Amino acid sequence: MELINKSHPEEFILLGFADHPWLELPLFIILFITYPMAMMGNIAIILVSKLDPCLHSPMYFFLTNLSFLDMCYTTSIVPQMLFNLGTSKKTISYMGYAAQLYFFHIMGATECLLLALMSFDHYVAIYKPLHYTLIMNRHICILLVATMWLSGMTFAVSEATVTLQLLLCGHNTLDHLLCEIPVLIKNPCGEKGVNEVTLSVVCTFMLVAPLCLIIVSYACIEHAVFKIKSLGGRKKAFGTCSAHLVVVFLFYGPGISMYLQPPSSISRDQPKFMALFYGVVTPALNPFIYTLRNKDVKGALGNLMRSIFTSK
């Protein structure tokens, strides 16, 4: 019983950048500005997708889900980061740690699958434009999104649950900004090889498999685009896909570098910068990437702003 009690401390200390205290104030200011921008940008995408009849298509249905996921993703970690950076107390309760661990990884795993699903949607829209609305009808879209959420939750919950069973032997200090599986696996005092293998297998399914689907989808899209005779048609097809490709690169790049290498080989500061990138920067940039690269979204946002000011 004494070992069990010691294995799960009542609270964790998240050191963050305690060894670089000069970074804490600038990082606090950046997060304090970035978080509201991310929330407002994603809320704007959701509103225009729901209110503008021109955006009632499968593509924007998936984009709405991406915006909702990004809002949940950042909310699961940024408030705690701001609290730890703004005060000398850098602790989080064990229950809070477990909740953040589950929530953060559920959102991350689901977003991996959603980005793959969006690439398949783009493939159908370009490769089968005349049958697009028939293939990607509302019932199919809802079924695909529900399957995506269920799969993401299943993989993330199973891996997080296994990780929480590790014996920490009283160690409650983590050199990180948030609650993340690779960092927690590095701390146990017992055997952790099985957990590293399990993490690699899960991440292969959640990162490599969706990424392969994205690559195959865009290979087919490229083949279809070059069959389009009109230059305007090609530009429209490339414009539709370019924003999504940028988001895929920003999300998958840091995620793969963090989760597809053994936790024991991860350098000290790498998890902190990677977590900031795919947990804060990418969700904040997504609304602006889709807005700047998409004429329909820009037009819908302009109409929404004009209607607001006109009514006032």
- Examine the pLDDT at 137 and tell me if it is beyond 60: yes
Q: Cα separation of 91 and 76, whole Å?
A: 16
Q: Cα separation of 212 and 279, whole Å?
A: 22
Task: Using alpha carbons, list the distances in angstroms from residue 25 to 34, 84, 89, 92.
Answer: 14, 11, 15, 20
CB burial readout 31-40, b (16+ within 10 A) else e: beebbeebbe
Beta carbons of 115 and 247 less than 8 angstroms apart? yes
Residue ranges and CATH numbers for the domains of the chain are: 2-311 (1.20.1070.10)
How, if at all, do strands 91-93 and 173-174 pair? unpaired
pLDDT band, residue 144 (cuts 50/70/90):
very high
The mean per-residue pLDDT over the stretch 295-300 comes to 68
Q: Which residue has the higher pLDDT, 144 or 51?
A: 144
Which tens digits make up the pLDDT trace of 146-193? 999 999 898 888 888 877 777 565 567 777 888 888 777 776 555 566
The mean per-residue pLDDT over the stretch 88-102 comes to 85
Q: Cα separation of 210 and 147, whole Å?
A: 14
Q: Which of 23, 30, 90, 21 is nearest to 277 (CA)?
A: 30
- Examine the pLDDT at 9 and tell me if it is beyond 80: no
Which tens digits make up the pLDDT trace of 14-47? 877 777 788 888 888 988 998 998 898 899 888 8
